[in-house]
């Protein structure tokens, strides 16, 4: 620093204001994180539910000919293949 440059006077900062600002930022970050986590959780639950629906639908159709089956059938009534 040159001797010709004037010194900047620093204003005193109140610790309460710094703590308040930091608290607000942390609170916003936590709220955003919770929001993202909830969205992710909901998406995950939806994906699992859809997978279960597909399993249920596919288990009621013959994998060989696609005919509809009764629950717990051992053989397809259309093609006669074992399930």
3-state secondary structure 24-77: HHHHHHHHHHHHHHHHHHHHHHHHHHHHHHHHHHHHCECCCCCCECCCCCCECC
Confidence (pLDDT) at 83: 81
**pLDDT, average across residues 39-55:** 79
Q: What is the pTM of this model?
A: 0.36
Confidence (pLDDT) at 80: 92
Q: How confident is the model at residue 79 (pLDDT cuts 50, 70, 90)?
A: very high
Q: What percent of the chain has pLDDT over 70?
A: 83
Q: Compute CA distances 76 → 14, 20, 53, 67, whole Å.
A: 79, 70, 21, 7
Confidence (pLDDT) at 54: 59
Any idea where the domains of the chain sit in the sequence? 13-83
């Amino acid at each position: 620093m040159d001797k010709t440059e004037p010194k900047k006077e620093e204003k005193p900062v109140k610790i309460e204001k710094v703590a308040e600002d930091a608290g607000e930022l942390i609170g916003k970050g936590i709220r955003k994180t919770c929001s993202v986590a909830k969205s992710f959780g909901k998406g995950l639950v939806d994906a699992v539910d859809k997978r279960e629906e597909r399993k249920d639908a596919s288990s009621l159709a013959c994998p060989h000919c696609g005919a509809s089956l009764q629950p717990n059938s051992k053989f397809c009534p259309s093609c006669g293949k074992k399930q």
